[in-house]
Chains A and B, each alone.
Chain A
Amino acid sequence: MKETYRFRHKHILGMEQLSVTDIYYILDTAISFKEISSRPIKKVPTLKGKTIINFFFEPSTRTRLSFEIAAKRMSADTFNIATSTSSAQKGETLIDTACNLEAMSPDIIIIRHGSSGAPGLLTRHVDAAIINAGDGTHEHPSQALLDIMTVREHKKNIEGLKVAIVGDIAHSRVAHSNIIGFTKLGAEVRVAGPATFMPPHLDSLGALVCGSVAEAVTDADVVMALRIQKERQDDPLIPSLREYAQFYGINHALLQKHARADALIMHPGPINRGVEMNPDVADGEGSVILEQVTNGVAVRMALLYLVMGQEGGRAEA
């Protein structure tokens, strides 16, 4: 007897909580939604009457916009709260702020926060569905899902692929979620960067830590570069962006020499051109960077739809 699968997550906190079946179910749902964005009238009534709050504690352009467009294309009412300071600094705790939002009966709260675990903390205090749009250096599940969706469109199967992620792994929730996601689906994830960018025991997440970028991209099907932050004041991680570009930047010659000819080039954005990735690569043949952005809307539509389906109020797309 085949058991009927049902998406059971009320909250999307990270790739860690999702099973392989969950991930493919989200991706399949996203594919069915992708077409809506190419219609002349890009709107379906699916989430009509639902209230969605974008609750962003860190500056974000594309993720916030992507979630907002996704919600609006599903006819939900969206509201944005952006603050660069945490509410604790204003004398109000995150929980208090969230409870105030809760009192206005939102259906979904999409949160980005500088503290790892903040979305999970919200789930214990509010009834709304919580979607993590990036928490500290923990997870950014919708980014990983849109990355996997993009790779899947080109490579069909994720299993057996060699995925290289290059850059500041230690401070990247994108890398964290992608390592978990791609590994769960059977890809081999290699990471490279200076040791100052490597968190301890990265192998425990399933990633293969490479000694050089060349090693990481050898025979790679996917090469993903991460945005390099300017040096942190209290923590000297790299001597200069100039030196970083020289030893860890992704350039055409490197890829031609080591990666597969059909390797996909990815970047979660925004790109520091000439630092972690050369323009000839970012704009080159294998680049799917803008497809990632397009798929971001579809994946987020799928997530909004699926977390609402939990309440039995599932409407037809």
Chain B
Amino acid sequence: MTTIIILQNGRLIDPVTGVDEQGDIWIENDLIIPAQKKLPENSQCFDLQGKWLVPGLIDMHVHLREPGEEYKETVESGTRAAAAGGFTGVACMPNTIPVNDCASVTQFILEAAEKKGSAKVYPVGAISHGSQGAGLAEYGEMKAAGVVAVTDDGLPVIDSQLMRRAMEYAGSHDLLVMSHSEEIALSRNGAMNEGVVSTRLGLRGIPAAAEAIMVYREIALAELTGQRTHIAHVSTAAATDLIAQAKARGVHITAETTPHYFTLTEEAIGDYNTNAKMNPPLRTEEDRQAIRKGLQDGTFDAIATDHAPHSVIEKELEFDQAANGIIGLETSLPLSLNLVREGVIDAMRMVELMSSAPARILKVEGGTLATGTVADVTVIDPDKEFVFTKESILSKGKNSPFIDWKLKGKAVLTIMNGRITHNELS
């Protein structure tokens, strides 16, 4: 007889069914089952007074670094960090070594996830062979092996014809194209946002136009091909505007932004802090406000982290030599809860951005608490305060600009396929 997990008296928030009320969730095996009148004998009960019960969070933009850079992160360590952050699913980018541009790499990742994963792993395949920007990777075989989307993330697709063909061909295999939108002729060798701070620090800047130009190209191509296209890690007001306009005229486009873009500005770089270096870079306060507004008004569909673990080898360097990227899985939820507390979005919208919408965009299970669906559930204690110390980080990467920040709100119980993957309750 299987143990039934009973989550009692939580605030159920489900954007798919529109439910926001006190209630219970019963889980048997890997499914959410209807609540019964009588407590079964084999049950594990959690009293969730004051806590939120939401569909398992899904991060659609993560770098797990395996295969090839296991010293930075592995499927095991990355998904453990994900579970601790409240995530039951992560989409992992293809810029591994080798690049995930064929079925065998996809299979390798999925096998590692099956054996050692604490969250569901959704591999994203490469747009081009080796992400070299020439020639399509084999989307059909990768899709059959389990990829949910394609991207050359980390490297923008320079050739517009390749991007057009990628959209068309991906459409034939019902795969989403995710765009890392960057005009590298403008951003090349840039180390941070171009503006007041880059001038003060004497660092080569990346203008906001580098993002806007490519975002516009993707919109134009999405319009041309009619294929669904997703804009990754939007950092600027200019790109946010373009996406809002495109959506208004019905282009099949979706977009994500990250907690660092709605929380920080270029000022976080301070005295050459490489843990505030990522690509696209932190922008200005104006951009930050535009991103927050975009989260509020629906321009953005998802909050993703662009979790990009690096070791000190890549980060304890001269600023212009240091690698781009910061970790994000373990800070995404409290930073997003800040938006709720500050009245930018409500709790329902936050869950939509962090769970239901990513599930819908990637066409994967989860994102709802409906009876009969998969038991991917996250319990959030919105009032739990903690200091995000370097020692507490589960990811192998310790490259976060939020280290030693006092954060509020935490995943205290994460359940993936009916299995408890993270538990701070008992």
Residues of A within 8 A of B (CB): 16, 86, 88, 93-95, 113, 115-118, 120-121, 135-139, 173, 176, 199-202, 204-205, 234
Contact = CB atoms under 8 A, between A and B. Distances in A.
A205 B199 contact: yes
Most B CB within 10 A of own CB, among A88, A116, A137, A201: A116
B401 interface: no
B191 to A, nearest CB: 8
Contacts of A199: 198-199, 205
B319 interface: yes
Interface in B299-317: 313, 316-317
Contact of B202 (A86, A136, A201): A136
B171 interface: no
A139 B201 CA distance: 9
B195 A176 contact: no
B202 A200 contact: no
A234 B316 CA distance: 27
A115 B201 contact: no
Contacts of B204: 137
B272 A201 contact: no
Given A120-B271, A234-B189, A204 B317 contact: no
Contacts of A205: 199-200
A65 B106 CA distance: 58
Given A88-B317, A138-B202, 5 more contacts: A94-B318, A116-B320, A117-B271, A204-B199, A204-B200
Nearest to A57: B318
A202 B202 CA distance: 11
Contacts of B155: none
Given A113-B318, A115-B321, A139 B202 contact: yes
Interface in B201-239: 201-205
B360 interface: no
B272 A234 contact: no
Contacts of B200: 16, 204-205
A201 B199 contact: yes
Contacts of B173: none
B384 interface: no
B199 A200 contact: yes
Interface residues of B, number: 22
Contacts of A120: 271-272
A200 B319 contact: no
B341 interface: no
Interface of B: 188-189, 194-196, 198-205, 271-272, 313, 316-321
A115 B319 contact: yes
- Ordered nearest first, which 6 A-B pairs have the shortest CB separation? A138-B202, A115-B318, A117-B272, A116-B202, A137-B202, A199-B199
A176 B194 contact: no
28 contacts: A16-B200, A94-B317, A94-B318, A115-B320, A115-B321, A116-B202, A116-B272, A116-B320, A117-B271, A120-B271, A121-B318, A121-B319, A135-B202, A136-B202, A136-B320, A137-B203, A137-B204, A138-B202, A139-B202, A173-B202, A176-B202, A199-B199, A200-B194, A200-B196, A200-B205, A201-B196, A204-B200, A234-B189
Nearest to A95: B316
A118 to B, nearest CB: 5
A93 B203 contact: no
A118 B188 CA distance: 20
Given A94-B317, A234-B188, A116 B201 contact: yes
A244 B120 CA distance: 60
A234 B320 CA distance: 17
Contacts of A94: 317-318
Contacts of A137: 202-204
A151 B295 CA distance: 54
A201 B284 CA distance: 13
A141 to B, nearest CB: 12
B317 A93 contact: yes
Nearest to B316: A95
Most A CB within 10 A of own CB, among B201, B202, B205: B202
Given A117-B271, A120-B271, A200-B196, A93 B316 contact: yes
Nearest to B319: A117
A158 B271 CA distance: 29
A120 B319 CA distance: 11
Contacts of B195: 200-201
A139 B271 CA distance: 13
A202 B194 CA distance: 12
Contacts of A234: 188-189
A205 B196 CA distance: 9
A269 B195 CA distance: 28
A137 B190 CA distance: 13
Contacts of A95: 316-317
Most A CB within 10 A of own CB, among B198, B316, B318: B318
Contacts of A117: 201-203, 271-272, 318-319
Contacts of B203: 116-117, 136-138
Contacts of A201: 195-196, 199
A137 B199 CA distance: 9
Nearest to A234: B188
Nearest to A169: B199
B321 A86 contact: yes
B276 to A, nearest CB: 12
Contacts of A200: 194-196, 198-199, 205
Nearest to B269: A117
B393 to A, nearest CB: 21
A93 B195 CA distance: 29
A201 B272 CA distance: 19
A83 to B, nearest CB: 14
B319 A116 contact: yes
Contacts of B316: 93, 95
B204 to A, nearest CB: 8
A137 B198 CA distance: 10
Contacts of B194: 200
Contacts of A136: 202-203, 320
Contacts of A138: 201-203
A88 B194 CA distance: 25
